[in-house]
Amino acid sequence: MKLLVIGSGGREHALAWKLASSPRVQKVYVAPGNGGTATENGVENVPLSGTKELIDFCKREHIHLTVVGPEAPLSEGVVDAFREAGLKIFGPTRAAAQLESSKDFAKRFMVRHKLPTARHKTFEDAATAKAYIAAERAPIVVKADGLAAGKGVVVAQTKEEANAAIDAMLGERRFGAAGARVVIEEFLPGEEASFIVMSDGKNVLPLATSQDHKRLRDGDEGPNTGGMGAYSPAPLVTPKVHARVMREIIQPAINGMAEEGHPFVGFLYAGLMIDAAGAPRTVEFNCRLGDPETQPILLRLKSDLLDLVEHAIAGTLDQAEAEWDRRCALGVVMAAANYPEEPRKGDRIQGIPAPAEDCRVFHAGTKLSGDTLVTNGGRVLCVTALGDALRIARTRAYEAVDQIRFDGMQFRRDIGHRGLKKK
């Protein structure tokens, strides 16, 4: 059978690679894909983007089912449109995707269903927002309401900084319509983890836990990025914390969405802050898999991902089981010159090692220009490796990283540092 993956990042390369490894799959198309999906076995890029074009393609090619990678098509209603056209697709509807596309929606939902999260208030007027800040304590967090590609969040150390963020969002409209409303919330202390599940709208299958590295530079310094590396599992999420997250956050979220008439079918990603006592709180929801978390997670998945997706679409996820490699996985992102501000494109990439059982290089911002592989976006590659211990996975990943060259490449040397400290 033939499948379609929508998207072009490292997450989508990992999804396409994993789906293509199913014995039942003949071909995985990726729209539009990247330089890695262009050359992956059993995978083929199709240069399509509009929903109508994608629907026509799926009908013409008899695509068995589609998996959506990024949030943008989900929040534009690609799932609603595919379902109306009678096509199978895995992802939340536009209404359900609001858990990510509107922070205000997500916060109110969490309050309605008593999910632990930071106290918050929403504002459209700068003066009222500043009055609220004056009455609160710093650090304090200011967020654009809409999708702002991970850049709409300011963790302000001082009230002055918070007021400046208000001016940028509500005054100068730095994030356009996405920042026409802002959410101001209490600062949560603790350590972050990514908790991603699959849901069929009712049942939940948790994926392996992971931890991302959001800052550009070693030691968690420099600007925020989409993520500079990830590893799985995250030792921070002990079995006890895991049980609490499922009971206090994930199940109530899935039940709440169903009760409100928007059952959440798809990957649900809870960004967690876990405090010193092991109490988890929700920083945000994403309505999709994480990038780069997906790359180490899928490298550890031993089950057939197609089976899991089929169960999720059919509403029978309670009958599915995911089997995980007991090894740890760790992925190092290699980013382009000037990422995250204005990544440079067109640098020639050399030295990518051939895939091995314990190490694969997933592509993100790459493309083939003739026979030459060049950079084509901010995050270029995610070098992902397995090892019997996190330290071994890390050594293996950096061995591969050290073979790869392109002008202006940026990557962190300390991916996994929190996990290593815990051992």
Give the residues lining the site for ligand AMP (CB under 6 A).
Answer: 118, 141, 143, 150, 153, 155, 185, 187-188, 192, 214, 271, 283-284
State the Cα–Cα distance between residues 215 and 85, nearest whole angstrom. 41
State the Cα–Cα distance between residues 404 and 416, nearest whole angstrom. 20
CB 300, CB 14: distance < 8 Å: no
CA neighbor of 208 nearest in space, from 276, 311, 302, 317: 302
Does position 293 bind ligand GLY by CB under 6 A? yes
CA neighbor of 400 nearest in space, from 415, 388, 385: 385
State the Cα–Cα distance between residues 58 and 81, nearest whole angstrom. 12
State the Cα–Cα distance between residues 102 and 124, nearest whole angstrom. 14
Cβ at position 278, least distance to ligand GLY in Å: 22
Q: With CB cut-offs between 5 and 8 Å by kind, which of ligand AMP, ligand GLY, none does residue 153 bind?
A: ligand AMP
Cβ at position 100, least distance to ligand GLY in Å: 9
Q: With CB cut-offs between 5 and 8 Å by kind, which of ligand GLY, ligand AMP, none does residue 65 bind?
A: none
Show the tokens assigned to 178.
């996405």
Contact string 223-252 vs ligand GLY (x = CB under 6 A)? ---xx-------------------------
Q: With CB cut-offs between 5 and 8 Å by kind, which of ligand AMP, ligand GLY, none does residue 286 bind?
A: ligand GLY
Cβ at position 61, least distance to ligand GLY in Å: 29
Interface residue with ligand GLY among 51, 211, 286, 410 (CB under 6 A) is 286
Q: With CB cut-offs between 5 and 8 Å by kind, which of ligand AMP, ligand GLY, none does residue 293 bind?
A: ligand GLY
Burial of 218 (0-12, 13-18, 19+ CB in 10 A): middle
Residue 199 — φ and ψ, nearest 5°? -135, 150
Q: With CB cut-offs between 5 and 8 Å by kind, which of ligand GLY, ligand AMP, none does residue 260 bind?
A: none
State the Cα–Cα distance between residues 210 and 220, nearest whole angstrom. 17
State the Cα–Cα distance between residues 179 and 331, nearest whole angstrom. 32
- Between residues 83 and 215, which has the closer beta carbon with respect to ligand GLY? 215
State the Cα–Cα distance between residues 325 and 385, nearest whole angstrom. 12
- Between residues 11 and 143, which has the closer beta carbon with respect to ligand AMP? 143
Residue ranges in 192-221 that form contacts with ligand GLY under rule CB under 6 A: 212
Q: With CB cut-offs between 5 and 8 Å by kind, which of ligand AMP, ligand GLY, none does residue 145 bind?
A: none
Interface residue with ligand GLY among 233, 266, 290, 387 (CB under 6 A) is 290
- Between residues 91 and 226, which has the closer beta carbon with respect to ligand GLY? 226
CB 312, CB 117: distance < 8 Å: no
- Between residues 177 and 314, which has the closer beta carbon with respect to ligand AMP? 177
State the Cα–Cα distance between residues 371 and 330, nearest whole angstrom. 29
Cβ at position 116, least distance to ligand AMP in Å: 12
Size of the site for ligand GLY (CB under 6 A): 7
Does position 71 bind ligand GLY by CB under 6 A? no
Residue with tokens 């026409």: 180
Residue count of the chain: 423
Among 21-29, 73-81, 285-293, 376-384, which window interacts with ligand GLY (CB under 6 A)? 285-293
Handedness of CA 32, 33, 38, 43 (dihedral sign): negative
Interface residues toward ligand GLY, by CB under 6 A: 212, 226-227, 286, 290-291, 293
